[in-house]
Amino acid sequence: MKNNLFTSRRFWCTGTVAAALAVGLTSSCGKFLDVAPQGQPTSQQFFQTQADATAAVNAPYGKLREWNLTAFNWLAVTTLTSDDAEKGSVTGDAEFLNNFTFFRITPTEGSVQGYWDGQYQQINLCNQVIQNVPGVNMDATLRGRYVGEAQFLRALAYFNLVRAYGGVPLLLKVAETSEELNPTRATRDEVYTAIINDATAAAAVLPAAYGASDVGRATKGAALSLLAKAQLYQKNYAA
């Protein structure tokens, strides 16, 4: 009986300790895994000052200089598929561009994917500005202008997308769930409506010109020009 009792107690003690450890590990693992991003601020932490807002709105301008937006991928998708240009040079120089000149494009073509990715990266940067800058304590006129600049740049990105791919997913806010990150494909008309709305809002707040330190930023004229092009593509001639 002593052996049996001892065995029972041993099993009970072992089970109790194991259960306690399991609870402790679950709690510890939860705390261990629930760690804020390290090495860079989150959007909730970043948008605090006027300088932060300036840095945020400068980001999509910097993006315009990247490969996916204004280098070979842009040339391939927008120009080599038209009668405006051909690749030229020798056969082996950037030979992949011939796929666009001669319409041999397949879904695995890297430039098509790169152009798509670049536009959505740009849209995400703009969404961060549009969503977060209104909450920053800063000069009200400048705050409105920054949002307008981001609206113009977002409209430009969607204008590039809709002309290349037709209807595309519309991301008009910072995605917080997997469903929001992967919305269903919008129609061509829905995309143009978003472009027209953004360009109209931007034109209402952007200045006609800038001082020397801000040359290159989106102006009222740029927003109105984009708005006019979008309306022409939609055959809204009376607009």
Q: What is the pTM assigned to this prediction?
A: 0.81
Question: Is-contact 47 53, C-beta < 8 A?
Answer: yes
Comparing CA positions, the residue from 236, 113, 123 lying closest to residue 169 is 123
- What's residue 12's pLDDT? 43
d(CA 10, CA 27): 26
pLDDT at position 19 over 60: no
- What's residue 79's pLDDT? 84
- Domain edges within the chain: 1-35, 39-233
Question: Is-contact 78 97, C-beta < 8 A?
Answer: no
- In this predicted structure, which of 137-146, 170-179, 216-225, 226-235 has the lowest mean pLDDT? 170-179
Most confident stretch, 38-42, 91-95, 111-115: 111-115
Q: At what angle do helices 220-233 and 140-165 cross, to 10 degrees?
A: 30
d(CA 117, CA 65): 14
Measured from the Cβ of residue 206, the count of other Cβ atoms closer than 10 Å reads: 22
d(CA 29, CA 35): 11
Comparing CA positions, the residue from 159, 139, 131 lying closest to residue 222 is 159
Provide CATH code, domain 39-233: 1.25.40.390
More confident residue, 8 or 43: 43
Please report, rounded to a whole number, the percentage of residues in the chain having pLDDT higher than 70. Answer: 81
Hey, what long-range contacts does 173-177 have (CB within 8 A, 24 or more apart)? 173/127, 173/131, 174/43, 174/124, 174/127, 174/128, 174/131, 174/132, 175/124
- What's residue 10's pLDDT? 46
d(CA 185, CA 157): 16
Please report, rounded to a whole number, the percentage of residues in the chain having pLDDT higher than 90. Answer: 57
pLDDT at position 99 over 60: yes
